[in-house]
Amino acid sequence: MKRILIVTGQSGSGKSSALQVLEDLGYYCIDNLPLALLPEIVEKLDKENNLEQLALGVDVRSTQADLQGFDDVFQMLQKHGEVDVIYLTTRDQELISRFSASRRPHPLSTRFKSLNECIQEEKNLLLPIQLRATVHIDTSDKSVHDLKDILLSKLGQSDNLILILQSFGYKYGIPLDADFVFDVRHLPNPHWDLELRKFSGLDEPVKKFLEDSQQANEMYEDIYEFLNKWLPAFAEGHRHYITVSIGCTGGQHRSVYIVDRLKNALQSKWTIQVLHREMKHWS
């Protein structure tokens, strides 16, 4: 067996959907097995089947002792192949909305009175697995199609580092799946120029406006130098991807400009995926 994925995360964040996507990508998927049984099952599959890719769904219904002993399970699984942990997370309010819409009980609802208590306790119980996660995905604003695209991006090239450059707007929330977040709200804002407001950071008028700003150039140079210095180290550490998020107020001008400029400077050295998260809000 060459690759093992453990898929977990908060209830309602899309674990079942992720497993369906992985099955479509050729993974042999098993869901809802107790953690303690995983090493035995994987060993049996490794001996009796010629499986290249295995995905294992795990959730909070495993015993607390099993969840706390996840490190031991992880190390045993590493004997059978390369192991990655995919951790799905979602903003609390979005989870509450999803459970309300589906009218499904939370797995911890028999132990706690409120849904919010269930969500907070689940985070605590899953923390040992989250700390081992190599792939974090925030599904708060994502469809199943978005989830498939993200999994393809983050799992598609296991031997090469993929740099994901993401612009976002702080007023819509900070991305939960970012490895690094850079705040560019202090830069001159094209939004306050009525002629520039309708454009984005991909358009020449906004580019020219920010290229004339010493602050914007210095901020870009600092982020570029950081990435140029440390991306080789991340690649040598066998990281599959790094997500770098650049945020301004609305996610239309300054953050988009910096992301686009970084893409142009780094694409000759790295495989790059670009995501402008707030594009649907652009005027």
On whether 13 is known to bind a ligand per the annotation, the reply is yes
Among residues 272, 220, 276, which one has the least CA distance to residue 241? Answer: 272
On whether 81 is known to bind a ligand per the annotation, the reply is no
| pLDDT at 167 (0 to 100) | 96
On whether 15 is known to bind a ligand per the annotation, the reply is yes
Q: Which residue has the tokens 């358009």?
A: 203
On whether 120 is known to bind a ligand per the annotation, the reply is no
On whether 167 is known to bind a ligand per the annotation, the reply is no
Which tokens belong to 76?
A: 């045993």
As beta bridge partners, residue 245 has 166, 181
Dist. CA 163–CA 153, nearest whole Å: 10
- SS3 for 273? strand
Which tokens belong to 190?
A: 């094209």
In the chain, the domains with their CATH numbers are 3-155 (3.40.50.300), 162-281 (no CATH)
On whether 261 is known to bind a ligand per the annotation, the reply is no
On whether 57 is known to bind a ligand per the annotation, the reply is no
Polymer length in residues for the chain? 283
Q: Which residue has the tokens 């499904």?
A: 104
| pLDDT at 156 (0 to 100) | 60
| pLDDT at 158 (0 to 100) | 47
Strand order in the sheet with 53-57: 28-31, 53-57, 3-9, 82-89, 135-138
| pLDDT at 238 (0 to 100) | 64
Amino acid at 191: H
Strand order in the sheet with 162-169: 180-183, 241-248, 162-169, 271-276
| pLDDT at 176 (0 to 100) | 85
**DSSP states of 180-246:** EEEE-TTS--GGGSTTTTTS-TTSHHHHHHHHT-HHHHHHHHHHHHHHHHHHHHHHHTT-SEEEEEE
Per-residue pLDDT of the chain (283 residues; tens, 9 = 90+): 578 999 999 999 999 999 988 887 778 899 988 888 889 888 888 776 666 789 999 988 888 888 888 999 999 998 888 899 999 999 999 999 988 888 888 888 888 889 999 999 999 999 999 999 988 999 998 888 888 888 877 776 445 788 889 999 999 999 988 999 999 999 999 999 999 999 999 999 999 999 999 999 999 999 999 999 999 998 887 677 789 999 999 999 999 999 999 999 999 999 888 889 999 889 7
On whether 111 is known to bind a ligand per the annotation, the reply is no
On whether 85 is known to bind a ligand per the annotation, the reply is no
| pLDDT at 159 (0 to 100) | 54
On whether 16 is known to bind a ligand per the annotation, the reply is yes
